């Protein structure tokens, strides 16, 4: 996920990025994402959004922590 730097002006989100379009393209429950983010707030938000899209999310707070996670059965 890339978050653009906000400018001083307020702009509306592009129509192609509307939430309803994303809901129609829900992921299958078998798709898993290893989410690595050092900011607790950003990690929680990203995990919430990805889970809402139907992904299984495995969060990690750092690269080192991510390397210790065993994602294979």
Domain coordinates in residue numbering, the chain = 29-73
Q: Are 36 and 63 in contact (CB under 8 A)?
A: yes
Measured from the Cβ of residue 6, the count of other Cβ atoms closer than 10 Å reads: 8
DSSP state of 1: -
The pLDDT tens digits for 12-70 are: 555 444 444 544 555 556 789 999 999 999 999 999 999 999 999 999 999 999 999 98
Global pTM reads 0.60
40-57 burial string, b = 16+ CB within 10 Å, else e? Answer: eeebeebbeebeeeebeb
38 SS3 class: coil
């Amino acid at each position: 996920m890339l978050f653009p730097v906000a400018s001083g002006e307020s702009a509306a989100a592009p129509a192609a990025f509307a939430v309803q379009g994303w809901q129609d393209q829900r992921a299958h429950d078998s798709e898993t994402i290893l989410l690595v983010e050092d900011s607790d707030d950003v990690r929680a938000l990203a995990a919430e959004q990805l889970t809402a899209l139907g992904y299984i999310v495995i969060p990690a707070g750092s690269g080192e922590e991510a390397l210790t996670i065993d994602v294979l059965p």
